Structure 1
Amino acid sequence: MRADRHHRQDTREDEVMETYPQALLDAEQLATLTDLERALREPRAALLRGRKEQSRRVRGGAELQTRPETAALRADDTWQVRRPPADLTHRRVELATAATAEQAKGALASGADVWVADLEDMLVPTSRRLIAAQEVILEVAGTRTGDPDPGVPTLMVRPRGLHLDEAHLEVDGQPAGASLVDTVTFLARCGRLLLDRGTGPYLYLPKVESAAEAQWWDEALTAAEEALDLPAGCTRVSVLVETVQAAYELDEIVHALRERVTGLAAGRWDYIFSHLRTYGDRPDHVLPDRDAFTMNTRFLRTYTDLIVRTCHRRGVQAIGGPIALAASGPFDDSAAMTHARVHRDKAREAKQGFDGAWVLHPALVPVARQPFAERDRRRDGGEEVGPTPAAPDVDDAPDGQALRDVSAIPGASTLTGVRTAMRSSLTYLTGWLAGEGTVTIAGHVEDFGTVELARMQLWQWLSHGTRLAEGPTMSTLLLDRMLEDEVALLRRRGAREDLLEHAVRLLRDSVVADEPPAFLSQRAYDVLLGLGEAEDEQQETAGAA
């Protein structure tokens, strides 16, 4: 019934005959996707069960650690990854935006080296928007060439993560995995086209937590290439290192993908969210307001140093993470301050040894490029710039104590921080349910990754009864009073009442839960589907009347 209702909704609104991905794939391609889903479903489910089991162990007091059985692999300096293709050898600035026609236009004119067309945190996964996103990707793919051109970004696609489902495609009565649906749809439509134009299908893999998950991706891509008659190994990938668990298996992740991987990127906000999701119930891991985090705090500096070191050893490009600041007009004071902060952040990454960095707005591309260009100029002049690679330890294991050390983070938990987390979450969730994948709030670019962090901070402060800097103790009573204020404010600003009610329920339920949901995006997706069904029922009732 649900599939039929969504079918009618998309047909009415978009004048297409089928939903995502059926509207984009022919019968043979759809059969291929179905066969791959059947073959890869249980291995994916086992990986997700493994995540839950590991989470329970850590909550029970266990610590994350490297695997003794892979010590020899980590210590072995002789292996490196396959060389990157020509159009992925110069990645000073990568621009990540939602895969929409408007964002694609801005990205292609931005001067970035790579455009990351996002289907995950920045895009609301309705059938209509996913169809439109894949159409935009196909159009951009048709303009690509394999010749490195500083003025033309190389296309990369970020599919949704392993934990997400695609409700519009059921296989044997169960929803298909969203990551596989996004990836196979992209490869089926664009893989051969990109190869014929001298480039290739390139992916950014999100939220990878282990070498086993990296191996799943490699096997999935190998199977998809064979089924779609694409050359073996033509799909090249970069990995977003945005989970605490991945930091303990970086060498193993790279090794599992050694014939495909071209880059590791530091997903800073998702990484902090992962830290809270992993250690949030420990009293000594209560974190202050989000604005207190700097990349020079010990646990974040250790994590990014580990990425750089691993990349340098294995022949992989190290890509710095985005700073969630929005660029305003070209001449006002706020824009100048934003540009200065972005420049400082990217100068730090260039000095640390990153090869390039992400930005989230086209206007920030030249700002982010300048520190890397200056470093390259100095290197060309014979200067020693950047860190000197250190000799590996016996097994080159990451420093677990340093990766967990949040003791020296400056700042405090404040009423302002609570209010900011509430306001940004409610504003974003209300907009997300209406179809907005990114929202600029108080000069910050918010997507689902930053909202996941905000709601986890609220949960942590409430769970531990944190005493805020102004004096009050975080409690359910204080939470509800502040929620009332924020809801009243959003109503005055014209928020749609039904969506606001859903946003409040999503946020509050995740904050007051004894055990918070691993990903709020999963619950929000269920609400999104329900909204589509409710609209269909209203239309049916109106038609019958």
Structure 2
Amino acid sequence: MMNGHVETYHENEERGVKRGGLQLPEGVRVRGHISAGYERILTLEALEFVADLERTFRSRVKWMLDCRKDQQARYDAGEVPGFDPATLAIREGDWRCDKVPSVIADRRVEITGPVERKMVINALNSGAKVFMADFEDSLAPHWDNVMRGHINLRDAVNKTIQWEDKARNKFYKLNNNTAVLFVRPRGWHLKEAHIEVDGEPATGCLTDFGFYFFHNHAAFRSSHDGFGPFFYLPKMQHSREAAVWNAVFDRAERNLGVPRGSIKATVLIETLPAVFQMNEILYELRTHSAGLNCGRWDYIFSYVKTFKGHPDRLLPDRVLVGMSQHFMKSYTELLIKTCHRRGVHAMGGMAAQIPIRDNPAANDAAMSLVRADKLREVKAGHDGTWAAHPGLISLVLDVFNSNMSMASQIESKPRDDVNITEADLIEKPRGVRTLEGLRLNTRVGIQYIEAWLNGTGSVPLYNLMEDAATAEISRVQNWQWIRYGAVLDGESVPIKVDKELFARVVSEELIRVEAEVGAQRFKKGRFIEAARMFARMCTAPELDDFLTLDAYNRVISVVPEARL
């Protein structure tokens, strides 16, 4: 397989080992159970392809994660992020990325969601220009979710995906015209514990990318002018990580005989260190680049995590950390200028609101917020934006259609007027810190973790679509306030946030959650376990990098050794 062409293996039964009907490459173990249909994904050839990526890039991934730790240690010691003087020539150079393929020239509205079967069909049929199918923040990566997700995407690419809701007597299938499919693999930090290569768990993003690309590249490119598949890349902190992704793409294209540059990827700028590396990231991916995206919820989370050693940078209530904050506005404007200078799309952020069907007044207010946010984005120069719910697509399309007559604003809005400094990008956020903010964080964090443990990674809570990124804000903000004893605003007497107060809040908010979800649902759920996890993470001496790391250990379902 690794000689620049695809081999066939019909007569190679002697290679590898068998397990549960699977033919496994030497050194590879599949430790998750094999349900019907999984063998379509876990073929010998696909596993060899993924194993090659793992063996080729594993050491570089470990090195990158070590670099993140070293970088964070410097921030904890008082350093602040900034532009790298060693790459000044890249930032000031006149280079451009390869031309955007015509099939994705117009991306004015994109919808995102997990790779669940019904969601895939509805999102592709939603009227959006792009659907980003997500293995990351909106998916709880239980083994079944991951495997079924790959089956769903393979069926979607082949236009055979269908789903029947017997309870409602409804049948779902694809329309004739559908959104273009992008796929977001997991971040570098997450493992796939159910697949081992040479005795080590595989890297989650390499398995996500590898299985999807191997099974779908030919069918996808045949219907998309020879380009694709298309990807979104999450959680980067430095251009060295983009360089590894570019090398992964090069190797994948070469090994399967795909023309170089067919893969295109949009990078989410959703960490504070990455905003200082945007030119460098695009430069590393310039053959494979499809622009940058403002992953604003993770960006807020990253602001806290980056400055976790800085007690003078406490966030206000999370509902106040929006695009009017100077550091947020600065980041988006610099992203637009950078992308347009390099000839690629500058994608806007997520509208997390969802339609409120039982309260017209509240729904009108929520839709007004969405409309204002998207109007701000298109007037600033964004070439497209995200929505979390199909019910928002027509509203967002109307805003962009009324204010963007061309497929994009890459050439028409270079934003040469933007002059953003390091100080702009790290300016302290302003606003109050309240007891209700602490309570909301706690309710959201507990309910999200409970849903995640049960296999759901995207959860409607309080008229917003919560995923891992928004739940992370709740977690790290609570940690920050407790760690540094934030004094709450709006109280008749000063109240300092400490572990004792937080323990009372957790107890009281659990009672409220039980009342909201119902006693039976509460009893059957994992709310107590989730509350303990959330409380532990919020009061830990050191801030955990990601809440999903601990949570993932609780959902691993490997087959016992005796049955392998």
User: Which residue number in structure 1 is paired with residue 460 of structure 2?
Assistant: 440
Q: Is residue 259 from structure 1 mapped to residue 276 from structure 2 by the alignment?
A: no
Report if aligned partners of 1:502, 1:527 keep a CA contact under 8 Å in 2. no
What is the one-letter code of the residue matched to 1:501? I
Of residues 500, 503, 513, the one that matches 2:540 is 513
Of residues 165, 190, 198, the one that matches 1:164 is 190
Q: Secondary structure at the match of 1:368?
A: helix
1:228–1:388 Cα change, 3 Å: closer
The structure with more helix, counted as a fraction of residues? 1
1:225–1:308 Cα change, 3 Å: same
What is the one-letter code of the residue matched to 2:472? E
User: Which residue number in structure 1 is paired with residue 5 of structure 2?
Assistant: none
> What does the per-residue CA deviation read over 1:19-64, in whole Å, with 9 as the maximum and x for residues that have no partner?
xxx6613212211211220110000000000000000001101121
More displaced 10-residue stretch of structure 1: 206-215 or 58-67: 58-67
Of residues 278, 290, 311, the one that matches 1:283 is 311
Of residues 329, 341, 345, the one that matches 1:317 is 345
CA distance in 1, matches of 2:327, 2:320: 13
Report if aligned partners of 2:124, 2:181 keep a CA contact under 8 Å in 1. no
CA distance in 1, matches of 2:237, 2:338: 16
User: Which residue number in structure 2 is paired with residue 403 of structure 1?
Assistant: 425
The percentage of aligned residue pairs carrying the same residue is 32
Q: Secondary structure at the match of 2:495?
A: coil
What is the one-letter code of the residue matched to 1:347? L
> What does the per-residue CA deviation read over 1:184-237, in whole Å, with 9 as the maximum and x for residues that have no partner?
100111001111223420000011111100000000111122223322221110
Q: Secondary structure at the match of 1:284?
A: coil
More displaced 10-residue stretch of structure 1: 30-39 or 310-319: 30-39
Q: Is residue 84 from structure 1 mapped to residue 100 from structure 2 by the alignment?
A: yes
Report if aligned partners of 2:233, 2:266 keep a CA contact under 8 Å in 1. yes
Q: Secondary structure at the match of 2:554?
A: helix
CA distance in 1, matches of 2:389, 2:182: 16
CA distance in 2, matches of 1:441, 1:267: 20
Report if aligned partners of 1:23, 1:131 keep a CA contact under 8 Å in 2. no
User: Which residue number in structure 2 is paired with residue 484 of structure 1?
Assistant: 507
Report if aligned partners of 2:114, 2:138 keep a CA contact under 8 Å in 1. yes
Q: Is residue 414 from structure 1 mapped to residue 437 from structure 2 by the alignment?
A: no
Report if aligned partners of 1:280, 1:460 keep a CA contact under 8 Å in 2. yes
Shift of 1:437: 1.4
CA distance in 2, matches of 1:314, 1:150: 34
User: Which residue number in structure 1 is paired with residue 231 of structure 2?
Assistant: 203
Question: Within 5 Å, which residues of 2 pair with 1:24-103?
Answer: 24-77=41-94, 79-103=95-119
Shift of 1:386: 8.2
User: Which residue number in structure 1 is paired with residue 148 of structure 2?
Assistant: 132
Question: Within 5 Å, which residues of 2 pair with 1:524-539?
Answer: 524-529=551-556, 532=557
CA distance in 2, matches of 1:180, 1:461: 36
> What does the per-residue CA deviation read over 1:357-404, in whole Å, with 9 as the maximum and x for residues that have no partner?
011001101111222111124x89xx9x986632798xxxx5111111
> What does the per-residue CA deviation read over 1:317-369, in whole Å, with 9 as the maximum and x for residues that have no partner?
11100122111229822221121110000000011110110110011011112
Q: How well do the aligned residues superpose, as a CA RMSD in angstroms?
A: 2.5
> What does the per-residue CA deviation read over 1:454-480, in whole Å, with 9 as the maximum and x for residues that have no partner?
100000010110111223210101111
> What does the per-residue CA deviation read over 1:88-114, in whole Å, with 9 as the maximum and x for residues that have no partner?
100100000111111112112211000
Q: Secondary structure at the match of 1:49?
A: helix
Report if aligned partners of 1:122, 1:447 keep a CA contact under 8 Å in 2. yes
1:8–1:275 Cα change, 3 Å: closer
More displaced 10-residue stretch of structure 1: 513-522 or 248-257: 513-522
User: Which residue number in structure 1 is paired with residue 168 of structure 2?
Assistant: none
What is the one-letter code of the residue matched to 1:62? E
Aligned residue pair count: 510
1:150–1:15 Cα change, 3 Å: closer
Q: Is residue 302 from structure 1 mapped to residue 340 from structure 2 by the alignment?
A: no
Of residues 467, 473, 480, the one that matches 1:453 is 473
CA distance in 1, matches of 2:31, 2:183: 29
Give the TM-score normalised by the residue count of structure 2: 0.86
> What does the per-residue CA deviation read over 1:398-418, in whole Å, with 9 as the maximum and x for residues that have no partner?
5111111025x2x31111111
1:204–1:226 Cα change, 3 Å: same
User: Which residue number in structure 2 is paired with residue 188 of structure 1?
Assistant: 214
User: Which residue number in structure 1 is paired with residue 449 of structure 2?
Assistant: 429
Report if aligned partners of 1:430, 1:503 keep a CA contact under 8 Å in 2. yes
What is the one-letter code of the residue matched to 2:219? L
Report if aligned partners of 1:270, 1:449 keep a CA contact under 8 Å in 2. yes
Report if aligned partners of 1:170, 1:176 keep a CA contact under 8 Å in 2. yes
User: Which residue number in structure 2 is paired with residue 117 of structure 1?
Assistant: 133
Shift of 1:170: 0.7
Shift of 1:278: 0.3
CA distance in 1, matches of 2:151, 2:401: 34
Of residues 495, 516, 519, the one that matches 1:472 is 495
Report if aligned partners of 1:208, 1:242 keep a CA contact under 8 Å in 2. yes
What is the one-letter code of the residue matched to 1:58? Y
Q: Secondary structure at the match of 1:432?
A: helix
CA distance in 2, matches of 1:272, 1:85: 32
What is the one-letter code of the residue matched to 1:524? A
Q: Is residue 329 from structure 1 mapped to residue 351 from structure 2 by the alignment?
A: no
Shift of 1:15: 3.8
Consecutive unaligned residues of structure 1, counting only runs of 5 or more, are 541-545
